[in-house]
Amino acid sequence: MDYKIIQSAKELSERVIRQAGLISKEKFDHFVELRSKDEFGDVVTEVDYITEEIIIKQIVAEFPKHQIHSEEAGIIGSESDWLWLIDPLDGTNNFAIGLPIFTTSITLMYKREPVLGVVYEPLTDRLFVSVIGKGTTCNNRPIQMSAISNIFKGNIGWIQGHKVQNESKAVHLRQFIDVRFKRMMRLWAPTLQWCMLAKGDIDGIVLYNSEGDDLYSGILMVKEAGGIVVDFDGNPFVGMNEEPYIIACHPDHKQELLRIVRDGLNSFEKGTDIVIG
């Protein structure tokens, strides 16, 4: 792995993601085109395409031998050890209804592992950057996760894939978790939730079958900020997975959060009603 490539990619990503973010900020509440993207209710705007083109054009110019996978454009270039994942507007549905919760995400993968994650929240001008082995920063200031004294008084983020919809197991697990913590958050802008976890604004994430261009930047953010990312069996989450089921939190809370998820899944299998309190 060549850290010179990663450093060059970092400099490029920081520059281009701000350019894309400026477009998103200017177009917020002023976009023109909105159309349905799939049968699951997802939408796309012209901002998705404009920002995506800005990012892709500069990556191709500087790293022509790297492969790119972007939310709207799909796969660009030949297969390579280096793969860029781009979500030009994570939270498009929020953007479309005037809810100011959205980001742009750029990830660089090397041999299917994230080595660089850059996430920009344009309305707050917060730039999150994570480099493998180098930590995570927010606006150039290092951030580090800390453990809450009682995880059950904390805030837990829930992320699920578009195709999950109202799958009965997911609905049961979501409610099971919801009633056991102070608050469950569903922002529909996954990269922002990952950054919030890395920054210590929330205390854990449960992700249910949600893989895409917005996933791996967030995973790197949390890991490099001192967090753990494991599957529902408690094994470290590594590589890429088309159907991930993930728990992320401070290492001190791993067993507690794992137990809650396992209890929730077991109660679903047994057909047990959810008890509040």
Instruction: Please give the pLDDT value at position 277.
Output: 56
Instruction: Please give the pLDDT value at position 2.
Output: 86
d(CA 214, CA 59): 17
Position 118, amino acid: V
Instruction: Please give the pLDDT value at position 41.
Output: 57
Domains assigned to the chain: 3-143 (3.30.540.10), 151-270 (3.40.190.80)
Residue among 161, 82, 148, 147 nearest 116 (CA): 82
Q: Cα-flanking dihedrals φ and ψ of residue 252, to 5°?
A: -65, -20
Q: pLDDT digit string (tens) for 208-261?
A: 999 988 999 999 999 999 999 999 999 999 999 999 999 999 999 999 999 999
Instruction: Please give the pLDDT value at position 168.
Output: 96
Instruction: Please give the pLDDT value at position 77.
Output: 94
d(CA 233, CA 90): 28
Please provide the size of the chain in residues: 277
Instruction: Report, as ranges of residue numbers, the positions in the chain whose pLDDT lies below 70.
Output: 32, 37-41, 275-277
* Residue 20 CA to its chain's centroid (Å): 18
